Homo-oligomer: A and B are copies of this chain.
Amino acid sequence: MNKLTINDIAKLCGVGKSTVSRVLNNDPKVSEKTKQHVLAVIKQYNFKPSRSARAMRGIENKVIGIIVTRLDSSSENRVLRGILNRLEELGYEHFITESRFDIELVQEHLYSFEQRQIDGIIVFGFSGLGQKILQPYSSKLVAIAQYYPALTSIYYDDQGAIRLLLERLYQENYRHIGYIGIHKQDYTTGYLRYQSYMDFCAAHQLSPNACLGELNYLTGYALTAEILQQPNTDAIVCATDSLAFGVNKFLQEQQRDDIQVCSVGNNPLLKFLFPQNISINFGLFRAGQSAVELLINLLATGQKTHCCIPSNFE
């Protein structure tokens, strides 16, 4: 449909195509008069220069690619909100792709972005995704949710989030706190959060009572029964909000309103359905915004930086 080229515009204006190009690129060496004329014609015919052709000449065009792991993850969606929010303010376009924790897919998408005049990349890290896969793109890539020493990366304070929850419970005199988390193969959500719980227990002479499983509400439901085998349990900390859905459901069915449930994520639906649940804000929205900041900075200065997002009860 848009078959107009810079040449057509040139003829339409009665000028050379180089002049049109100059106008397009804000070259100061063009008289105000012709500039306005060319601009008018461009607007009139709604002409847009071909990105492919521009790309061949090495022009950047304010587009960044985003590789998420799961489009239907509510936590990643929160981060995405932060990313898009900041991106929009800066006038950037975005393309989103899904990796589904598949390393090969990540590679395909990275290459695809590279080939499509994309200026920068934000990728959601996961436990299997090694640094060497991302390294070749390090000059324009920001990793999120995982720490990569040689890259620009944003990561969360997994240990701090659990610690904050535990400190609050401890302060409110809970002493028999169970923990429901996910398997340790997952380094951040699994291992780090579990370890934080164990450390806290050791430091405060609490006897630990932890169960680990998959990342979904069914697991939360099933593991609650196991945790309650410790009869004097008075609180349960969940690694994520999705687990907490299951835990709260189980407790509700058993009419156990004597047990305080805590979790990480600050999911609004969870808060609506189970208002008594204490959920900590993991800083996801802010993480998204920060990712954009760091990326823009990286593109401009080439400086690789890192940023750890703190959790809070807001």
Interface set of A (CB-CB < 8 Å, partner B): 1-2, 48, 50-53, 55-56, 63, 71-72, 74, 77, 80-81, 84, 93-98, 108-109, 111-112, 114-117, 136-137, 217-218, 221, 245-246, 249, 269, 272-273
Contacts and interface: CB of A to CB of B under 8 A. Distances in A.
Given A95-B97, A96-B96, A218 B272 contact: yes
* 4 closest A-B pairs by CB: A52-B55, A96-B96, A95-B95, A51-B115
Contacts of A246: 272
A109 to B, nearest CB: 8
A interface: dominant SS: helix
Contact of A217 (B71, B112, B115, B272): B272
A77 B221 CA distance: 24
Contacts of A109: 93
Given A72-B74, A81-B72, A97-B95, A115 B48 contact: yes
A46 to B, nearest CB: 10
Contacts of A48: 111, 115
A94 B97 contact: yes
Given A48-B111, A53-B56, 10 more contacts: A1-B114, A50-B56, A51-B116, A52-B116, A71-B84, A72-B77, A72-B80, A94-B97, A218-B272, A249-B272
A12 B247 CA distance: 63
Given A1-B136, A269-B217, A273-B245, A96 B71 contact: yes
Contacts of A111: 48
A249 B97 CA distance: 35
Nearest to A65: B95
A136 B2 CA distance: 10
Contacts of A93: 97, 108-109, 112
